[in-house]
Structure 1
Amino acid sequence: MDMTDTAQTAHLPQVTEPRNPGMALDLDWVHGAQANRSAIERRAATLPGRRSVKKEYQAAWLLKAISCIDLTTLAGDDTANRVRRLCAKARQPVHVDLLEALGVGGLTVGAVCVYHDMIAPAVDALEGSGIPVAAVSTGFPAGLSPFHLRVAEIGESVKAGAKEIDIVISRRHVLEGDWQALYDEMKTFREACGAAHVKAILATGELGTLRNVARASLVCMMAGADFIKTSTGKEAVNATLPVSLVMIRAIRDYHERTGYRIGYKPAGGISKAKDALTYLALIKEELGDRWLRPDLFRFGASSLLGDIERQLEHHVTGAYSAGYRHAIA
């Protein structure tokens, strides 16, 4: 199994897809978006037990999951050396002996995600790898700093070498139903990103209802988002299957109406290999195989990779290793 082709397309969606140019805000479409919570929760509840893969098929799906990880460190005590170690793991996410046993080459993660101050060491450590640096921006995680500073922060991160920008929206615009304000904000952020691709973080755990999640998803895509992302990872509730189903169906609706494919990134709380398999199954069923590539799907995660590596070692050797043998950084 050669992952070289995956690695080459693991990065910016605009490299392999026509970039979403956005469109005029369509309030009729936005207001028409609804979410039947009970039906959504029933659909989501069936997935973990109904969709499972075993043996070599599971190993293949876990390797796919690795290629879709935004390997992340967003801690107040981040250091340049920690980021360099994380980047080394991004370049070689699974021990070489395991990859040889699995017949795999050329496997990397999708990106490395850091705060602005850590962009420089990440860019340096990833030079020549083809792995982009993603930077969280716009007053992450709350998004409550002055607007002109949030826009300036994007520009500084792009200038420092970030190829992807994860922005946070103003939750109040959603909670107040001010869709024009959200659209204008997102459009400004997209313009500030320039050639860098932009992931719109909705912070779904703070939006109140699934209907708000659906409407915010549509507005951000209309304003030109390349990806929509569930969470900062700092909220009390982060990525969930019901929220993911709502956002994925908004992506499908947008594609059917406009022809543009938007990426999806669940983030926060996804730490087990079995959870990664469930999300991949959901994407396959709702959006199809085209979205099962890193240019259109990412996991925002830090500890997920370690658990996946343990599962792959069990597949190869028949025994589980200690977690400390698969440290991330």
Structure 2
Amino acid sequence: MTSSSPAITAAALAKTYRVGRGKPPVHALRGLDLDLPAGLVTGLLGPNGAGKSTTTKILTTLARPTSGTATVAGIDVTRDPAAVRRRIGYVSQGTGTDPLLTAEENLVLAARLRGIPAADARERARRLLHEFGLDDARGRTVARFSGGMRRRLDVAAALVHRPSVLFLDEPTTGLDPESRAAMWAEIRRLSAEDALTVVLTTHYLEEADRLADRLVIIDRGVEVVSGTAAALKAGLRGETLRVTLVEPDATAVRRAIDGVPGLHDVVVETQGTAGSVTARVDDATAALAAVIAALTAGGVAFGAASVSAPTLDDVYLHHVGHSFDAGLADAASDQEGVAA
């Protein structure tokens, strides 16, 4: 059940890092605006370097913005960071549990650090271990946990004080498909059963599509577009035509397909000896035949060709101008690893 008031807001949020004498500053955020509803899973989607983790660090009070404002649960993150921290849970990209302690000891410690009395901390730890399917591992040291078990324990530790907002920063990175699916199920359960507001940062398109009630696509530190996954895909015209290229010359490819009727939002990408040409088309059959004929006539070597319904990658391509997997320039890709 969602609230009429937003759980998180941001206005003209900017963050600039100074990386060294004689080097240009890194603009991780460039005036980001957010208005995230309560009680939903909101996905912050973008490739590495887009500004997702920087946004999370500011909203969780781990970094201060260079300019702009932000509130979480109605509290300004710079004016009263302690009050914000009491209302949030945060799971970072790295594990936050002690490998030498047992699962139960980790949760009791997390609760005690939050000021919860000892008896209540033990009760809360046991309840969370049950909810996250870790009952049988309660007495096992975390060093003996699998990656999926450790991530579930990380999320459980972030919930010991019953926060109203949970931040998950790339929670399934490095997990195998089975563990990733289990984590997805836990996130959906938390949102549905506990009316918890979840902010999920991810660079997995399938994860964003499956989990998020609402998406905010970020690129180069600003919001590109937002909405439900279904609405964003429905907003694209026609179908997607994609042809893989072999040892492509981008200029030759553009010259070959220039003038082919029925193509919209044409993007040619090259990466070493591979590449692709992607376009929106209204008449898939006619466009596919015409593009293949044009590439053949232009002497352009190509591989597989396909036509599909719109995907989130197509949404990203349409609004940003390059595919999701293409990533960003080297300078931008370093943004989120710079120390605050």
User: TM-score under structure 1 normalisation?
Assistant: 0.36
Q: Which has the higher strand share?
A: 2
User: TM-score under structure 2 normalisation?
Assistant: 0.35
Q: Which has the greater radius of gyration?
A: 2
Q: Which has the higher helix share?
A: 1
